[in-house]
């Protein structure tokens, strides 16, 4: 039987993982500067968390979740997004009792969605995201955006567009929804089947439809910004002022509504034209009602999620420089069995001293060892034959300059470190 990874999943082989680690390193470094600390939550949660948290009229909950009964007949679901689990953790661990805000990030969280796999769209993907709890001010929204953009810019991503919008709150959104439903009803027969169905349950979602026809119709739909209450308008103005203050350009885009139910006020997406149809690298917003909805005290919150596979694809499409795989200080190439044992001992000795050391485990000829070493990012090859053994030294070949030198075992560390 031929074995395949499940459709829509991707391996990261040991040859490729350095690209991921490069991105992860930059993300961790920048989060540290913003005083945001890492949180980890389980890959599975009780299904109810997502039904209640993400919203049972969303595509994610209706069509895309990996849900199954475990052996104890409990319905569990593989995380289809990052926020609900984090909110559950915030509430369960009573983090709201601490001085607020509570800022956290998750990195490399596996996210599962049963979608049609295509470029930039997988069934298992990984996200980096941040969540800030207990911060009602728009500066927190701006901090999320500025952190996401700083990461993307440090990675060398070019030509991104930040789109922001406000979708109001529980006071002003119902009024807007009414206007929207009225408009959609006039065009009902032209909408796609999904939109005809959701226009009554969740009208905002139609603005997010990817069908060409629906997009055309929605282009002339009433705009949510015109229905915002004073508080939501003020919040949006504050956000714009914060972004202006640090020189972050944005497009005010009334069609950004996001695919999840929990958003209030700010929503945003960071979009690249160097990705195909799947052009959103990062999406997020404010969700002031979710903590309370999941059983915690009333707590404002804001955050985003960034798809790491999509980010890697973007970096590749733009030909961004991602550094190199880590170099190896020395590759020890023994000739003969006596030398082989000594080489093994020497490798252990040098690793203890802190060097990055590799050694032949295949029994290759010296020529083949050099050929092998030539393919790796190796600084020195150390040849260990009978004469070197007698001298208690290696013949070191500098793989960049080609220069050779005899170096005593005890001096190897210092020689290589210089």
Where on the chain is the footprint of ligand ATP (CB under 6 A)?
81, 113, 115, 120-122, 125, 127, 259, 278, 280-283, 305-307, 309-310
Smallest distance from ligand ATP to CB 169, Å: 20
Least separation in angstroms between CB 111 and ligand ATP: 7
Residue 195's closest CA among 177, 183, 208?
A: 208
Give the pair of three-digit tokens for residue 239. 């956000």
Q: Give the Å distances, CA to CA, from 400 to 370, 380, 383, 388.
A: 13, 8, 16, 22
Beta strand spans in 28-101 (E): 37-38, 44-46, 67-69, 75-78
Cβ closest to ligand ATP, residue 88 vs residue 125: 125
Q: In the bound complex, what is the minimum distance in angstroms from residue 205's beta carbon to ligand ATP?
A: 11
Element (H, E) at 302: strand 301-307
Given the complex with ligand ATP, which of 54 and 378 has the nearer CB atom?
A: 54
Minimum distance from residue 206 beta carbon to ligand ATP (Å): 14
Q: How many CB atoms lie within 10 A of CB 93?
A: 12
Shortest gap between Cβ of 344 and ligand ATP (angstroms)? 44
Q: Which residue lies nearest ligand ATP, judged by its C-beta? A: 307
What values do phi and psi take at 65, rounded to 5? -85, 145
Q: How far apart are CA 110 and CA 279, in angstroms?
A: 20
Determine if residue 94 is left, alpha or beta; phi over 0 gives left, psi from -120 to 50 gives alpha, anything else beta: left
Q: How far is the CB of 151 from ligand ATP (least distance, A)?
A: 13
Dihedral-angle region of residue 6 (phi above 0 means left; psi in -120 to 50 means alpha; beta otherwise)? beta
- Between 187 and 310, name the residue whose CB sits nearer to ligand ATP: 310
CB 32 to ligand ATP: min, Å = 22
Q: Kindly tell me which of 285 and 289 has the beta carbon lying closer to ligand ATP.
A: 285
How would you classify the pairing of strands 301-307 and 44-46? unpaired
Task: Identify which of residues 260 and 396 has a Cβ nearer to ligand ATP in the complex.
Answer: 260
- Report d(CA 389, CA 71) in Å as an integer: 61
Query: Tokens 């955050």 appear where?
Result: 303
Closest CB 376 distance from ligand ATP, rounded Å: 31
CB closer to ligand ATP out of 281 and 384 = 281
Nearer to ligand ATP, 309 or 329 (CB): 309
What's the closest the beta carbon of residue 330 comes to ligand ATP, in angstroms?
40
What tokens appear for 184 in the block? 């959609």
The answer to whether 259 and 208 have CB atoms below 8 angstroms apart is yes
Nearer to ligand ATP, 7 or 351 (CB): 7
Q: Is 211 left (phi over 0), alpha (psi -120 to 50) or beta?
A: beta
Query: 101 and 137 in contact (C-beta within 8 Å)?
Result: no
In the block, which residue shows the tokens 């390193």? 25
Q: What is the DSSP letter of 223?
A: P
- Residue with Cβ nearer ligand ATP (235 or 310): 310
Length of the chain: 418
């Amino acid at each position: 039987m031929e074995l395949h990874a499940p459709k829509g999943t991707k391996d990261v082989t040991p040859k490729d993982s350095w690209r991921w680690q490069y991105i992860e390193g930059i993300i961790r470094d920048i989060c540290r500067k913003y005083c945001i600390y890492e949180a980890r939550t389980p890959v599975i949660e009780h299904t109810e968390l997502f039904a209640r948290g993400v919203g049972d009229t969303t595509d994610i909950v209706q069509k895309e979740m990996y849900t199954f009964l475990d052996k104890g007949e409990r319905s569990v679901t593989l995380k289809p997004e990052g926020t609900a689990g984090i909110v559950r953790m915030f509430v369960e661990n009573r983090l709201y009792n601490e001085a607020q805000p509570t800022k956290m990030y998750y990195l490399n969280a596996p996210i599962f969605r049963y979608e049609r796999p295509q470029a930039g769209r997988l069934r298992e993907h990984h996200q980096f995201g941040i969540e800030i709890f207990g911060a009602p001010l728009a500066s927190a929204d701006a901090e999320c955006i500025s952190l996401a953009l700083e990461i993307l810019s440090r990675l060398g991503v070019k030509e991104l567009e930040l789109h922001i919008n406000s979708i109001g709150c529980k006071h002003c959104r119902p009024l807007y929804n009414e206007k929207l439903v009225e408009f959609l009803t006039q065009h009902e027969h032209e909408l796609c089947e999904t939109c005809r169905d959701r226009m009554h349950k969740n009208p905002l979602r139609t603005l997010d439809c990817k069908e060409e026809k629906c997009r055309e119709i929605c282009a002339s739909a009433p705009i949510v910004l015109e229905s915002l209450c004073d508080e939501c308008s003020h919040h949006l103005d504050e956000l714009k002022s914060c972004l202006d203050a640090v020189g972050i350009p944005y497009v005010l885009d009334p069609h950004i509504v996001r695919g999840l139910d929990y958003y209030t006020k700010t929503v945003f997406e960071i979009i690249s034209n160097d990705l195909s149809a799947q052009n959103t690298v990062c999406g997020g917003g404010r969700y002031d009602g979710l903590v309370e909805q999941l059983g915690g005290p009333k707590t404002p919150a804001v955050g985003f999620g960034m798809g790491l596979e999509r980010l890697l694809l973007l970096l590749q499409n733009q030909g961004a420089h991602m550094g190199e795989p880590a170099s190896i200080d020395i590759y020890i190439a023994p000739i003969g069995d006596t030398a082989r044992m000594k080489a093994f001992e020497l490798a252990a000795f040098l690793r203890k001293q802190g060097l990055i050391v590799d050694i032949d485990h295949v029994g290759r000829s010296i020529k083949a060892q050099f050929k092998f070493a030539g393919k790796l990012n190796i600084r020195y090859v150390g040849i260990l034959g009978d004469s070197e053994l007698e001298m208690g030294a290696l013949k070191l070949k500098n793989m960049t300059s080609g220069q050779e030198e005899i170096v005593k075992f005890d001096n190897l560390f210092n020689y290589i470190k210089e």
